[in-house]
Amino acid sequence: MTLSQIRYAVAVSEIKSINATARSLYISQSSLSTSIKELEDELGVELFRRTNRGITITDEGEEFVSYARNVLLQYDLLQSKFLRENREKYHFGVTMHHSTFSVRLFAEIVKEFGMHDYSYSIFETTTKNVIEDIKNGKSEVGMLYVSSFNETMYEKSFSEAGLKFHVLAECPVFAYINKNHPLAGRSEVTLEELEEYPCLLFEQGDSSFYFYEEIISAYEYKNVIRTSDRATTIDLINSLDAYSIGIGMAANSQMQSTTTVVRIKSEEKIRAGYLTRKQEKLSLPGEHYVAKMREYLNSDKVVR
C-alpha cells in the first residue's frame, strides 16, 4: 500500500467517479483504476462498487477512508514540520451558522497560531452548506444550532453524510431587539407578544424548513422577513422594530451598542455545538477553537 494509493482512494470517495477523479489528479483513468484495484487486492476488501450508474463506496471503503484521511493529515503535518523549504501551510477552516461570537473566537485562533504556518477560512452560510463543507473537507469544524424541533432531521442528515454533532452547551431561547423596542426592558416575552413585529429568519435556499437555524417549533410566524447576512439583520432590527431569534449572545460591537435581548417564554432549548467527520481527530487549531467555544458558551457571559 502506497501513499499515492491512499490519496487516490480518498479522492475517489469524495468525487465518486473514476473518470472525474483521474482528471482532477492529472493521471489516466486506466492508471487510477489499476491502482485502486491493486489496493483492494492487497487489502482483501472491496472499497468501491462499480455499476453502470457510477461508483459507490462500500462499508469497508467508508471505514478505510476514515482512517486514510487521518494518515494523510499526519503525513502532511510531518512534512510541514520537517520539510520547511517545501512545505505548504496547514489549513484550518470553519463553516457556521450566523454567529458574532464564533467569528471573534476564530480571530483569536488566527492570532494564537499566526499566518506563517497556517492558512484560514471562515464562512457564514446555510445549514445545508455547513454539512457539505464538513463532509467534503472544505472546513474542519461546522458550528450549528440544533433545537428539539429539527434534531431528528439534523441527526439523519449528519449520519448520511458521515458526520458527528458534538454538543457544547444547551441554551434558552432569546429575541434580539433594538433598545428602543416596545418590549425592551422586559425579562420575558411570549411568541404571541412578538407576533405583530417582523421576525427575521436567515434564508436557507431550497432546503427544508427543518434546516432553519432559528427555533421554529410548531409555531407559525405571521410576519417574516428573510435575510442572508448579519449586517442586514442588525439594520432591520433597528429600523423596523423587528426581531431575530438566538441564544442571547452578541459579541459584535455594533450589535451590543444598539440591541438587547429578552428571553422568550418557551420550553424549547437550543443546543449549540460543532460538526466534524466521524472518527476524525481535530487539528491543534481545531482543538483550541472548540475549547474556546465551550468555555465561552458555558461562561457567565451567556444569559441563562
Q: pLDDT tens-digit profile of 32-81?
A: 888 889 988 998 989 988 877 778 888 998 899 888 888 888 887 777 66
Per-residue pLDDT, 212: 65
22 half-sphere exposure, CB direction, 13 A CA radius? 13
pLDDT in tens, 217-226: 445 677 888 8
In the block, residue with C-alpha cell 471503503: 61
188, HSE (Cβ side, Cα atoms, 13 Å): 7
Q: Is the pLDDT of residue 252 over 50?
A: no
Please give the domain boundaries of the chain with CATH numbers for all domains.
3-82 (1.10.10.10), 90-169+271-297 (3.40.190.10), 171-269 (3.40.190.10)
pLDDT at 142: 95
Check residue 130 and give left, alpha or beta (phi > 0: left; psi -120 to 50: alpha). alpha
Give residue-wise pLDDT tens across range 160-210: 999 999 999 988 888 999 999 999 989 899 988 998 899 888 877 655 555
pTM, two decimal places: 0.64
Pairing of strands 244-246, 174-178: antiparallel
Looking at residue 299, its pLDDT comes to 76
The three cell numbers locating residue 258: 444598539
- For residue 218, the model assigns a pLDDT of 44
- What is the structure's pLDDT at 208? 54
What share of the chain has pLDDT > 90, as a percent? 27
